[in-house]
């Protein structure tokens, strides 16, 4: 029995089997979003990674990956330092931290093949103030020309502590929401 094709409905969600989304992608919303982030790439060829660089570990910052040729890597996976006081962190200001990550993302863009994937695992930070780090990383990646492919919400098992998130016991003066998840943001370089 063959399933009936569907298309974007005028209200609510419909079944997605053999879904025709042309109506959705023809809307001004999509065209203006794509234009704002200039989602186009030149015809760039993949470069073969030299054999001497394969299966190597480089113990260094990803800010400068001069050993790796442009357009030669298919997948990058990272969990960047959170700048929260760990042994490997530097005490950077918010602006310094974003510039540091921006240098890494720019270098990742350089070494990825067109369509290559970048996967970034991170969590939001703090409570006073709450810093939606994932939102800033998404913004920075889009501005570099990466295309967002999706996000995975990684629910950390057993993340809820036995203490309450509602202030002192029996005295809820400052309720907060605890993050019990992290994000895995998935991007591709300039093309689908």
Structural domains for the chain: 44-158+173-189 (3.40.50.150)
**Alpha-carbon distance 66 to 45, whole Å?**
19
Tell me, rounded to whole angstroms, the distance of Cα 180 from its chain centroid.
18
Question: How much is the pLDDT for 16?
Answer: 58
Averaged over successive runs of 10 residues, the pLDDT of the chain (192 residues) comes to 61 63 82 72 75 89 93 94 86 94 97 96 90 96 95 80 57 72 95 82
User: Where does residue 145 fall: left (phi above 0), alpha (psi -120 to 50 degrees), or beta otherwise?
Assistant: left
Cβ–Cβ < 8 Å for 124, 131: yes
Angle between helices 133-144 and 94-111 (to 10 degrees): 40
Q: What is the pTM (predicted TM-score) of this model? A: 0.79
């Amino acid at each position: 029995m063959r399933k009936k094709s569907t298309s974007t409905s005028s209200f609510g969600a419909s079944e997605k089997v053999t879904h025709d989304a042309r109506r959705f992608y023809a809307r001004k919303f999509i065209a203006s979003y794509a234009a704002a982030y200039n989602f186009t790439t030149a015809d760039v060829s993949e470069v073969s990674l030299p054999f001497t660089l394969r299966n190597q570990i480089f113990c260094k910052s990803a800010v400068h990956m001069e050993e790796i040729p442009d357009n030669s890597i298919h997948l990058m996976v990272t969990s960047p330092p959170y700048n929260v006081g760990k042994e490997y962190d530097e005490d950077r200001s918010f602006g310094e931290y974003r510039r540091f990550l921006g240098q890494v993302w720019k270098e990742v863009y350089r070494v990825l093949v067109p369509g290559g994937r970048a996967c970034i695992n991170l969590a939001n930070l703090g409570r006073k103030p709450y810093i939606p780090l994932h939102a800033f990383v998404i913004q920075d990646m889009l501005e570099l020309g990466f295309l967002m492919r999706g996000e995975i919400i990684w629910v950390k098992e057993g993340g809820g502590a036995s203490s309450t998130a509602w202030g002192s016991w029996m005295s809820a003066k400052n309720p907060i929401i605890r993050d019990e998840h992290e994000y895995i943001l998935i991007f591709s370089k300039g093309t689908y």
